[in-house]
Chains A and B, each alone.
Chain A
Amino acid sequence: GESVGLHLPTLSVQEGDNSIINCAYSNSASDYFIWYKQESGKGPQFIIDIRSNMDKRQGQRVTVLLNKTVKHLSLQIAATQPGDSAVYFCAEKNYGQNFVFGPGTRLSVLP
């Protein structure tokens, strides 16, 4: 699979616990945000998105929170499962521009 940077932040959680992955974005004008999940050897996979006029959005087992005041985005995964192990990227987008990705966080789910 794809190798990752030596300094990639890592989050280790016990199976069944909740995970919170954080991301600081850079552009206060960004109006659309996505969380992507990347498993080894695969491309980034869309998880959940949120627009700047919202501060929370829920999906199946996942919740994204947006704090525009401090330019912070978080992804909460409920009842983390082994299949959730992957690298998670936040991405921000400004109207008419292209996605800017964060550095990624590796999530390891412990049995």
Chain B
Amino acid sequence: EAGVTQFPSHSVIEKGQTVTLRCDPISGHDNLYWYRRVMGKEIKFLLHFVKESKQDESGMPNNRFLAERTGGTYSTLKVQPAELEDSGVYFCASSQMDIGYGYTFGSGTRLTVV
């Protein structure tokens, strides 16, 4: 089966611009997660979708970040306006079940804000 796909793989934008990251989960996986690793620190949770609903968005850093999953398939994560501290690698993961299972991660989007 195809894995979790993320696009773009790299993005370089100027401070104040907008960037939209996309994640296509494994087909049939209701659970979709966004994580990020900033400045080489720990991988930190951002939010969790179950189908099209936001199950948990407690990790979203501020209102400059907006995640959507219309139709319960792919998801987008928009950063507007981007700040320097948003630079890092944004990972998407999906799973069939949320409890007691590992996630399948995508390769990530490396975001650089200059």
A residues adjacent to B (C-beta < 8 A):
2-6, 8, 32, 34, 36, 41-46, 49, 51, 89, 91, 95-96, 98-104
Contact B102 A43 (CB under 8 A): no
Partner of B59 from the list A91, A98, A103 (CB cut-off 8 Å) is A98
Task: Note all chain B residues with C-beta closer than 8 A to A32.
Answer: 100
**Contacts A6-B40, A51-B100 hold; do A98 and B107 have CB atoms under 8 A apart?**
no
Are A95 and B99 also in contact (CB < 8 A) when A8-B40, A101-B42 are? Answer: yes
Q: How large is the interface on B (under 10, 10 to 19, 20 to 34, 35 or more residues)?
A: 20 to 34
A101 to B105, CA, bound (A): 14
Q: Is B56 engaged at the interface, CB distance under 8 Å to the other chain?
A: yes
Residues on B facing A (Cβ under 8 Å) = 4, 6, 33, 35, 37, 39-45, 48, 56, 59, 89, 91, 93, 99-100, 102-108, 110
Looking at A6, A46, A98, A99, the one whose CB has the most chain B CB atoms below 10 A away is: A98
Number of A-B contacts (CB under 8 A): 56
CB < 8 Å: which of A2, A100, A101, A103 contacts B89?
A: A2
Query: Interface majority SS on A: helix, strand, loop or mixed?
Result: loop
Known contacts being A2-B108, A2-B110, is A34 close to B102, with CB within 8 Å? yes
Cβ contact within 8 Å between A43 and B99 = no
Q: Are B105 and A98 closer than 8 Å at their CB atoms?
A: no
Does A5 contact B105, Cβ atoms closer than 8 Å? no
Residues of A within 8 A of B104 (CB): 46
